[in-house]
Each structure stands twice: as structure tokens, then as C-alpha cells.
Structure 1
Amino acid sequence: MSPTHVTVGLLALAGSAIALNNGVGKLPKLGYNTFNGFGCSYDADIILAQGQAMKDLGLVELGYNSLLFDDCFTEKERDKRGRLVPHAEKFPDGIKSVTKKLKKLGISSNAYSDAGYQTCAGYPGSYGHEAQDLATWAEWGFDYVKYDNCYIPFDNVTQENVYGRYKRMTDAIAERAKKTRSKPFEYSLCEWGWQQPWVWGKKLGQSWRVNGDIKPWWSSLTAIINTASFISHATDFYGRNDLDILEVGNYGQGEPHGNLTFEESKSHFTAWALLKSPLFIGTDLTNASQATIDILSNKDLLKINQDPNVGESISPFRWHSDPDAPFVFDNDHPAQYWTGNSSYGVVFMLLNTLDETAELSFNLTESWAIRAGRLYDVYDMWSHTNNGTAYRDISITLPPHGVAALLLNDAGPEPEGIEPYCAGYWQCSWPNGTYYSN
């Protein structure tokens, strides 16, 4: 007799996810990540050199105040009691000595681990050791963990899907905070977006990856931006889409180190900042150009990313030049027109996804945050200049893969008697119910 197959619908995750507000991670994290610049080839000296560069270049003062030891910082075997062991060759004086020195620079330290048996590079994962590893990381001076998704146990071992495996660490973090009366670890889920972490991630942690690992070329950036354009609503205080490590500065060097143009690096940083992703630098700061530092130090964009009153990301209001063609999924040519609110004005991002110079034009009232019938002062967040007053429409010419980041503030009512009477005249009505004819 063949087995009977029964489908059962579970509603455990039904409804909108509520952010995990446990006292940490209200705003996106800013810092440095060792992975893109060094892979596993880093040690105490390299970490401290990057930390010192962050301090000397003024990045710590701007809010880049954490450093993530991303994989490969332990030995490949636990000790006899099951505890993680610092990598002896990389950290001859132990990890705690490094985190103490970083703390003196104003930089906190972040751990990396995995919801499986091993990390992606083959070091010990935390499955079955969640509470034990948290205690070790706290002893070593960490307060944040990036949690990857490699080498997961058999289904009949976990009897859980990805949500349950990641929840084990959420529960361990909460239990440790309660037991020790300490601040909870901030928790970053690196699930790569395969199982829609933007739906359930905010129940468990403060950020979640939306795509695979970033690469230092334009097509990788556009694929991530394309994914983010459909899930921007998931970002808010205490929970946000993580677009992965910043590749800013990896321009003009060729693969595998990077081949982004300068304009692409600007677009990269603008999108990551305004979509309120965590901002983790992946470039060797001891050898960074002034242009790279200028991009990473854009105070106007960082101010939006770290807005204390508005947690939402910007979102697309039009995908391509055709306003009648919304919601186009295109990894090569993602949404070009974005807007959102902020404590400092209405934000617009215009992204030229074409391989040639293009003029991008829009009506102000295409943004939900704009008031109709008003004038707006325009501030350019890259030139840091006031660029006059906008009346209904804005047009900007951008280089290939270039970006504009604008901040608009109300400058009073439009002059009387200007026709057409409505920016969107197609539903503009007289009091008697007849439509105004343009």
C-alpha cells in the first residue's frame, strides 16, 4: 500500500513580522569586515592596522565603530570541553588582547559563526554549542554575531527548517542576556535570501542578508539592488535588509580585486546608505585612496542611514522611464527612481542603470512624501550644495551607472494661476465634478 500524503498548512509565521526590539540594533551597524579584503588571510596585526586606519581617517568619529572578524579566527578543532580556541598563529596573545586594543580606539568587536556544524570556511560552527559560544565570545570581547548558513545538519537531526535553526541562537542570546543581566548580542542573519529572510528575519535578529555574496563588479550590485527593490518595506528600526559588504574603493583594479568605476562606487554607497543597509567596509583602509575615503565619509548620506526618527528605507516609485511599467524584475536594470521620508527632508535617489549617459526626469508628486502644489528647495547630497527650487519636475543627466541623491524641503506654495492646475492633471477636477482639461 502506498503511503498517504497529507498536506498540513501551518500558520506559525502568518501575519506581518514584528521587529525584535530587545534593546540593540535600532539603527544600521557601521564598521569594517575582514572578509572581502583579506578572506582568511588576516591576523591580529592586520585587524589592528585596519582599526587604527578607521580611527586616523575619521571613520570612527563618523560612526564606523565596529570590526567584524569574519570566519577563520579560531582553530579548526574545539578543546576537550567543546570550547572554541583562538587561532594560535593569527592571535598569539589571544583574541581578547586584540578586542581590548580595538576598544581603546572606540571600536567594538564582532564575531562570526554558523548555524551548522562548520563555518563556510570549515571552522567550528555553533550548532549545538549556541550558549557555550556566546559565553566564549563575550569573554573575548565580542557583542555582535554574524551567523552564516553552511554545513547544516541532516533534517532528522535538526527536525527544523532554517527558521528553527536560526531561532536556536536567538533563544540563546535572550537566555544569556537574562541570566547575566547583560545587553543582548546584536544578531545578523546571513541566510543569503534563499528562503525569504525578510519575511521572518525580524522575529529573530536585527538584519538579514537578501542575496548571495557581493562581488566587485556592476552586475553584482544591480542584482542586489533589484532584489532590494521588491522588499524595501521590510526595513525599519530594529530590523533591516542587509545588502552585504561594501565594495567601495575596489574600482579600476581588475578581477578578482575589483573593477568598479568611480561612478559605480558612488552608486553602490548611495544605494546601500539610503536603503539603510548595515555599512561594513571591505576595502583595505591602509591602502585606500582619498576618493574612497571621500565616498565612505559622505556625511549627508550617513545622516539618512542613521536617521534617529525614521527607520524606513527608500523605495522605488518608478522602475524604468515608462511610468506604466512598474514592478519590472530585472537584475541588470533595476529600479531607477526611488524616494522616502527622513528627518531632514524628502529623499530621492536616481540611478542610471544604463551603459550610456542618460537623462532621468520625474514629477515631484510621483513621490508619496511630496505635497502637491508646493515648491521645493533642492539639496544635492554628493556636491553638498543647494541647487535652487524645484517646481513640479526635476531632470538630471547622469553618466553611465551614475547616481543622484537629493534632499527636498518645502519652500512654500506654488505661484497662483499656473496651469495646468494639477501636476497629475488626469484626475484634476473642478468643484462641479468635471475634469480639468489640460
Structure 2
Amino acid sequence: MFLSFGSFLALLAAGAPMVFVLGVAGALTLAITGATPLVVVAQRLYNGLDSFPLMAIPFFVLAGLIMEQGGIARAMVGLATALVGWIRGSLFMVATVTATGLSAISGSGSADTAAISSILLPEMRKRGYDIDYAAAVVASAGSLGPIIPPSIIMVVLAMISDLSVGAMFLGGIIPGLIAAAGLMVGHWLYARREPERYSDAEPFSWPRLGSAFIAAIPALTMPLIVVVGIIGGVVTPTEAAVLAVVAGLIIGLFVYREIKLSDLPAMMLRTAGISSAVMIIIGTASIFSWLVAVQDVPQMIAAWFSTHVGSPAMFLLAVNILLLIVGMFMESISALLILMPVLMPIAISLGIDPLHFGVVVAINLSIGLITPPYGICLFVACTVAQRSVMQVSRVIWIPLIPLILMLILSTYVPQVVLWLPQTLM
């Protein structure tokens, strides 16, 4: 055990990429101890990827790229502007509402952040918004992606924890909507501090909302296909992701006409690059997580928790603190694959509903997308805004407050997560 975690921490401290940290730590432990043949490394790597639900990941990634380039994001921004553009700090509200809609398409926080950033951040700068806070707003909006279904994090989590993907998706809807509402309240309060700077709100107009809704109808079909199809049991998550790609191509090519057939090879190459990065991490993490399991680490940690943290409430508090810290330094999929095989058995032994616990973990890792120094959504927004992570980090705590409050509510009021799955499934 000490060799496994020692090599893991040493490689992590040395700045090695996470894929090598996970794979090399596991292989090195097996090589030095000699207790298990090294061929197990290849077997575990293959077994970690030999899963039909994982095929949903590249298709959701491709759907997100189509959404970003095919006019779908722009149509959603237009609808959000007509819906909430009358509120003070209007573009803050538009970013959050747009992200809520796009989250039901791509399943990726970074894809949502990229799409919103490219459209809204230049306009925010033009209107004189505080660009640091604007980047924080867009990053926090993108973090809704892994909470609101479909979610790549939830697909992976359900696979390794033997949970229903559809139930996980349903469990994330109410927390995601609460988070979106909380973010909008926080942005409104921030905008009130400088009423003249953020007085660009436009009067609400029913005709304008109607025309924006009609223009966005093709874009709105994508989340309907994905979410309703999975929840209704008509399609699997992988099949829904394929349908989202097909629908997105039809909309982008023939309705909005903002992508061409000549754009597809580049989009597929980007999809392959992004997906392979995720997949190889999943494969190498399966080596390390198997090694952790055979060394009885979950049992040892469970024994420690039973001695020092006897109640479910204290366990959930400890897990939330742990995951919020881990999310600051580690990519979410890697953290998920390392920690869930350890934490889920303990949660079940304490009588915590596994679906509730799974959604709470997903929320934690979603918040990690905007916490410095690692948060990928924060990096994307800062890059487009042409600001450093340090500059934006000075104000990122403002949108973090409603997200943390939503996490606490979801943690200690389980029905926030469980009501929809129990009602509809």
C-alpha cells in the first residue's frame, strides 16, 4: 500500500501527467513486489475500457463540438437573451441560462464554457463589464454541464458504481436548476453594486421572446432527444449520444447552416483527441484502482471511518471537504476513478443511498471545474477573456457561494436528489 501511494504522490509532485501517474504507479508496484505478473497491467487497462456505456463519451464530445460550431449555441443565447435580458447585469443572466440549456446537450463543462465564452465574453468586454468577473460567470455557468443531464462524469460514475445512468441523470436535474437559480441571484446582487455599469438591460417583449423561441426550436430538439430518450428508457446513453450527433449535424448543416461537410474531419479529429485523453485516463486509473482494491485499502479506510467518523452526516461532510480539495488539483475523471471504489462501499455501509451519494460526488467534482489552480472551465474562460487565472481567481469565490450552498442542500436533504428518480423510475 505504501509503495503504491508513495509512487503515486512522488509522480504527482514531480508534475507528471495524470495518465502516467496512474499507470506507472500501478505498474511500478507490481514490478517491485513481484506478487502479480505484469501482464495484469495490460489486462486491467483493456478491462477498464471494455464497456459499452463508455462509448457515449466520444459521441457527447462530438455533439458538444457540433453545438459550439453549428449555430446551436448562438440560437440558445438568443433565446436566453429574450428570456432574461431585461434583468440588471443581463449578460450574466444570459450566460447562466444558456449554459443550463447547453448542459442538456454536451455533458461537458469545458465544451459549454468554450461555446458561451466565444459568444458572450467579447460582448461583455464591449459593454464595459468587469472582465474578470465576466470570466468567472462564464466558468461557473459551464460547471453546470456535469450536473444537468446528460453528464460524462455521471456516465463514468454510474459505470464504476453499478448505478442506473438514467437515475443518475434524473438525480442531477433539481440540484442543477437550484444551482442555476442561485448563480443568477448572486450575479444580480453583484450587478446591483454598480447600477450604472450594468444598466444594459432591455425591456421584456413577448413578440421578441416568441421569435427567439421559434428560432431556437431546432436547437431545443437536441436536449429533448437526449434527456427524454434516456429517462423514458427508449434509448441507452450511448444511443442517445449518437442521436444527438445526428440531430446536431442535421441542424447545423441544413437548418442554421453554420457548419459545412468540409468542417467534419477537423471536428472528428478534435473529438478523437479529447476522447482519447479521457479514455486513456480511465484505462490507467483502472490499474491503480484494482491495485488499491486488492490491497484492502477500502476496508482499512472503512475501519478508520467507523472508528473516527461514525455518523453518515459526518462522513458526508468529510467526503465533501476531501473532494473539494481534490478538485482543486486533480482532473475530475481521474479523481472519480481513484476515489469512488474506496468511498462508495463506505457510504453504503453507513446506510447512505448510493444514488444520492453518487450525485453528491458528481456535484463536488463539477465545482472542482472552477476552483483554482486546476479548474478546466476556469482555464477556458480565462483564455478567451485574455486574463490570467490569478486575476479571475480573485472574484471566483462569488459564484462559488451558491454552488457550495446547493452542495450542502443536496448533501443533507437527500430528496433534492432522489425525488425525481423515485417519482419517474
User: Relative contact order (C-alpha < 8 Å, sep 6+): which is higher?
Assistant: 2
TM-score strictly above 0.5: no
Range into which the TM-score falls when normalised by the shorter chain: under 0.3
Q: TM-score, normalised by structure 1?
A: 0.24
Which structure is higher in strand share? 1
Larger radius of gyration: 1
